[in-house]
Structure 1
Amino acid sequence: MKITENYLTERDRFSDKNINTPNYDEQIVRQKTQENPEWVHFGGGNLYRCFHGQIAQDLLNAGELETGIILVETFGEDMIDELYHGFNNRSLSVVMKSDGTFNKELLASTAESLFAHASRPEDMARLVDVFQNPSLKLVTLTITEKGYIIKDSSGQLMSQVAQDLRTTISFENLQHTMSKLTYLLLKRFLAGGAPLAVLSTDNFSHNGDRLKATVLEIAQGWQKIGHVTQAFVDYLATGDKVSFPYSMIDRITPLPNQAIAEKLTSEGIEDMVPFISAKQKMLLSAFVNTEEVHYLAIEDDFPNGRPAFEKASGVLLGNRETINKADLMKVCTCLNPLHTTLAIFGCLLGFERIYKEVQDKDLLSLIEQVGFIEGLPVVENPEIINPVDFIKEVIYQRFANPNIPDMPQRIASDMSQKIGTRFGETLKAYVAAPDKDVRALTFIPLTIAAWCRYLLAIDDKGETFEVSPDPLLTELQAHLATVTLGGEIDAHAILRPILSKQAIFGVDLLEIGLAEKIEHFFEQMIQAPGSVRRVLQETLAIHAKNIRK
């Protein structure tokens, strides 16, 4: 059977494959979405499909929502044409439990899928129509951290954005996703200025503020040259019409796993083999594999109303302060920094699965030190989630789950855009605290040194490996061009241009007094093959503190 078959008339066939199906008629949902759209989402990747799509499905099933999500892609048409249109806007969610069992559910909550690009004028026209409709309540985004960046590391506008600010404002002329979003907000303003919530659900702290600042910078750039009025800038800025809530999202969602694809195929479910798309060469799959545990904490600030999120599994609502604390706890201490640490060391030490890394006693001890010993002391308790319970669940249940085939190489992607969020907020907290000394930290500096070592693209065996994609990779590797394994170096001179970059780390590591320690670790790690493991073990032996589990 195929997941595109009619689940209303063929429900028994889906049931025979242990696939849960929607309680609603997707055709009715799509018609209502066409007439009165409520929810638009930018970024159609795996996290959206298994989390936002699941939330909407839960609410549709419960009768708490009558419309579906309108999915928008700006990167490439392959995801829309080959994945969404190819499978009738449906996905098969595969939740992988730690006991080895799977829960399968057919998700049909994506009502439309659009490619916001000049080559698709009909899609752009539909999207403008949606944004002009007062019924629209919220826009959510999962476009990764780099999707919000409009300036390069030197503080200059990226060429795409600079061009967007110079050109005549029309959808077909705009290139950057943030420019397109700002344009759509302009069309809503000109159509009467109905309220709207624009909600980033990407993994970085203060995501609502960064999204708002980026949109405002584009709008103000247009205002300066007379393309828009000050009234439009005020519409975005004051907060009573357009809100930019904070959020914290948490669900480990690896790339589609071949073993799961084979299992699904063996059960008689067709078209489950992941494939490479024709133009963008993306790895796509009709199914999405994810973990059972999930959290989405949202600031409850929706000026035009919202779905009944409180009735969806895993969704928590609170004020800005509460959500900010939950976000900082997860993104900056209890999960993402540990993931980052495992990604960096995992690539250097030849691991291809996260769960295998936490079976390694050195790496397990390392993330315990980064999390429990160096991170938790500066975490503020958000109350809606207990930080100690959360970090224990992360390390000993979620990371250790062998049915989550997550890879350090995936997590290492775009590391220059993430490492400041992962460790920078903790470093700032230590600097700000009168009773803390940032220079006393050991394992966060060790991990930063390991990232610099990782950039050499030579693993701990002395063999070359492929570094994960990163927009600053060429620039960063240029600073390390003279470094060789076993060679003599001036670590301070070589690393200074990297460690002093506040745009990368959130702080100047030289200024706060951590550079010398990082340089020392880096020098030790490049001495010979095996030095990364040796330095890790020696540092743990000397500095590791006992963990009360």
Structure 2
Amino acid sequence: MTRLSRHHLQSLPHDVRRPSYDRAAVRAGVVHLGIGAFHRAHQAAIFEEALNAGDLRWGIIAASLRSPAVRDQMAPQDGLYTMLVRDGSADRAQVIGAVRQVIVAPEDPEALLAALTAPDTHIVTLTVTEKGYKLDPATGGLVEGDAQVAADLVSLKAPQTAPGYLVAALARRKKEGLTPFTAISCDNLPHNGQRLRGAVLDLARRHDPALADWIAAEGAFPETMVDRIVPATTADDVAALGRRLGVEDQAMVKTEPFSQWVIQDWFCGPRPAFGAGVQVTAAVAPWEEAKLRLLNGAHSGIAYLGGLAGIDHVHEVLTLPEARTFVEALWDEAEATLTPPPELDVAAYRRDLMARFDNPTLRHRTRQIAMDGSQKLPQRLLAPIAARLEEGQGVDALSLAVAAWIRWQAGVDDQGAGHVVDDPLARPIAEALSGASDSRGRVDAILALGAIVPPKLAEHAAWRETLMKWLSVLETHGARAALAKLRSEKDAAPVVVS
């Protein structure tokens, strides 16, 4: 089948929305690091709306810091791709034209540095996943033992990391008399703007203290919170869309109707007139915390428990009444640790989240969510656990989710089917667990990993026992039995009348 391209835009079905602007007149005001499905369904769609509104400064030059896969999908399509929005009863298709070019950084680092240094570049966004920042989850500092970080500490002529590219480009901008760009992390890291700024300043200071001072004074690293569920695209998705469009789209993405982007009001240059779905605010942290602990925390628990039970998709896990009880119990525990902004109705947010999880057309795979758990659990599950323990509160549901992650490290589910443990710390975790002969030993081994579990939390004796209890149930009886046990304990809990 012929690939989607600019030549097919006018012949697409009438119900497919397409760019309303002249793509040839667009300037690239945004450079994005880490182009993947999430960026294409979230930030790129938002900049597309700015272009459709007539502000042609917000085209995107995107970069992959690792694989050429997305470039190879998009280049034959003139950078065009379809965003399919599914809500369970209907879907909407929109062709996005905001991405002007995709650079594969390892193949041509100079091209990416040139894009970052261009006078038209005002904003740099990043979706490089938690591990892409090369930060120690416990300390927040650069992981100097990482080979790519070590290389960037020696030379930034051909950077290896996202912070390395930012520092090298900012050095050039300073030398050429240009202002810095606004660097916006769109990954699920707590205080993501501060962490990105810290990584950049740390690396810059190692090379040129005056550069670090200039970045600190003139640059902007706003905190952000992003929220949209974007499942991985399958071959069946591509085939079905091809039948609908009459052309093949290898770069398509599928997503849900809900989209949210909360951005701290801190820019050092121009920005679009953001429309619906974007909230510029003085304080992002309360929004970020609610999203990490409610949406992302529940997602992780669903992923590991559902994956262990041999269930492929989120909505299928939630057909189990005991799984719904688990999610509500986890939310009850996590909600007590939040300080939500006045605009956030947590009860309504929880109802909306459950409806989003129940959306059967998304087919969000549990194994996709289960990736990189060592980088995700500290902010999603361990932080609310620590907060509740400080107040002497129970943490059964949150602990069951952590225990399920530990069980996942064995590489087999409850039926004995194998899976790959896709995690940057998979090897040290496996080495730590290799000497453990029982549930208690495996809990002790995990709690000794300071890169994942904060020492103060690891030393909490009562929590250690709770974690061991749930891991023992998981290893002996399986995920479904653990969910059933949690449900029975919740049903048996006394009702407190105030």
After TM superposition, the score normalised by the length of structure 1 is 0.84
Equivalent residue number for residue 392 of structure 1: 351
**Equivalent runs, 1:385-534 vs 2, <5 Å:** 385-395=344-354, 397-432=355-390, 436-438=391-393, 440-461=394-415, 463-481=416-434, 489-506=437-454, 508-513=456-461, 514-527=463-476, 530-534=477-481
Pick from 157, 160, 174 the counterpart of residue 170 of structure 1. Answer: 157
Equivalent residue number for residue 322 of structure 2: 362
- Residue 495 of structure 1 and its aligned partner are, at CA, apart by 2.3
Distance 1:65 1:390, change over 3 A: farther
Any conservation in 1 of the 2:304–2:366 contact (CA below 8 Å)? Answer: yes
Pick from 308, 325, 328 the counterpart of residue 286 of structure 2. Answer: 325
Deviations 1:434-480 (Å, cap 9, x if unpaired)? xx214x2211112111211121123223x132134111112212233
Deviations 1:501-526 (Å, cap 9, x if unpaired)? 34213464332341111112222322
The separation in 2 between residues aligned to 1:490 and 1:287, in whole angstroms, is 45
The separation in 1 between residues aligned to 2:453 and 2:271, in whole angstroms, is 35
**Equivalent runs, 1:225-264 vs 2, <5 Å:** 228=208, 230-238=209-217, 241-264=218-241
The separation in 2 between residues aligned to 1:132 and 1:175, in whole angstroms, is 17
Name the count of aligned residue pairs: 489
Equivalent residue number for residue 350 of structure 1: 310
Instruction: Look up the equivalent residue of 1:164 and give its one-letter code.
Output: D
The separation in 1 between residues aligned to 2:87 and 2:62, in whole angstroms, is 28
Equivalent residue number for residue 207 of structure 1: 192
Greater shift after overlay, 409-418 or 129-138?
A: 129-138
Task: Structure 1: give runs of 5+ residues left out of the alignment.
Answer: 223-227, 273-284, 484-488
Instruction: Look up the equivalent residue of 2:304 and give its one-letter code.
Output: I
Instruction: Look up the equivalent residue of 1:543 and give its one-letter code.
Output: K
Distance 1:294 1:478, change over 3 A: same
Q: Name the % identity.
A: 25
The separation in 1 between residues aligned to 2:215 and 2:157, in whole angstroms, is 19
The separation in 2 between residues aligned to 1:248 and 1:268, in whole angstroms, is 33
Distance 1:421 1:266, change over 3 A: same
Distance 1:128 1:446, change over 3 A: closer
Any conservation in 2 of the 1:39–1:68 contact (CA below 8 Å)? Answer: yes
- Residue 45 of structure 1 and its aligned partner are, at CA, apart by 0.2
The separation in 1 between residues aligned to 2:126 and 2:478, in whole angstroms, is 41
The separation in 2 between residues aligned to 1:258 and 1:77, in whole angstroms, is 18
Deviations 1:319-375 (Å, cap 9, x if unpaired)? 1x2x1100000012x20000000000011000001111111111111011001x201
Equivalent residue number for residue 486 of structure 1: none
Instruction: Look up the equivalent residue of 1:517 and give its one-letter code.
Output: T
- Residue 150 of structure 1 and its aligned partner are, at CA, apart by 4.4
Equivalent residue number for residue 161 of structure 1: 149
Equivalent residue number for residue 543 of structure 1: 490
Equivalent residue number for residue 25 of structure 2: 28
The separation in 2 between residues aligned to 1:73 and 1:317, in whole angstroms, is 27
After TM superposition, the score normalised by the length of structure 2 is 0.92
- Residue 289 of structure 1 and its aligned partner are, at CA, apart by 0.6
The separation in 1 between residues aligned to 2:387 and 2:449, in whole angstroms, is 18
- Residue 152 of structure 1 and its aligned partner are, at CA, apart by 9.0
Instruction: Look up the equivalent residue of 1:166 and give its one-letter code.
Output: V
- Residue 301 of structure 1 and its aligned partner are, at CA, apart by 0.6
Pick from 320, 324, 341 the counterpart of residue 382 of structure 1. Answer: 341
Instruction: Look up the equivalent residue of 1:249 and give its one-letter code.
Output: V
> SS in structure 1 opposite 2:62?
strand
The separation in 2 between residues aligned to 1:2 and 1:524, in whole angstroms, is 51
Any conservation in 2 of the 1:420–1:504 contact (CA below 8 Å)? Answer: yes
Is it true that 1:69 corresponds to 2:60 in the alignment? Answer: yes
> SS in structure 1 opposite 2:452?
helix
The separation in 1 between residues aligned to 2:233 and 2:118, in whole angstroms, is 36
- Residue 109 of structure 1 and its aligned partner are, at CA, apart by 0.7
- Residue 218 of structure 1 and its aligned partner are, at CA, apart by 1.2
Task: Structure 2: give runs of 5+ residues left out of the alignment.
Answer: none
Deviations 1:201-253 (Å, cap 9, x if unpaired)? 1112111111111112211222xxxxx2x221111223xx1011000001100
Distance 1:523 1:403, change over 3 A: same
Distance 1:113 1:531, change over 3 A: closer
Instruction: Look up the equivalent residue of 1:541 and give its one-letter code.
Output: S
Is it true that 1:295 corresponds to 2:295 in the alignment? Answer: no
Any conservation in 2 of the 1:150–1:157 contact (CA below 8 Å)? Answer: no
Equivalent residue number for residue 14 of structure 1: 12
Any conservation in 2 of the 1:92–1:287 contact (CA below 8 Å)? Answer: yes
Instruction: Look up the equivalent residue of 2:489 and give its one-letter code.
Output: I
> SS in structure 2 opposite 1:233?
helix
The separation in 1 between residues aligned to 2:381 and 2:58, in whole angstroms, is 40
Instruction: Look up the equivalent residue of 2:101 and give its one-letter code.
Output: E
Equivalent residue number for residue 108 of structure 1: 97
- Residue 3 of structure 1 and its aligned partner are, at CA, apart by 2.5
The separation in 2 between residues aligned to 1:469 and 1:102, in whole angstroms, is 32
Is it true that 1:338 corresponds to 2:298 in the alignment? Answer: yes
Equivalent residue number for residue 225 of structure 1: none
**CA-based RMSD:** 2.3
Instruction: Look up the equivalent residue of 2:256 and give its one-letter code.
Output: E
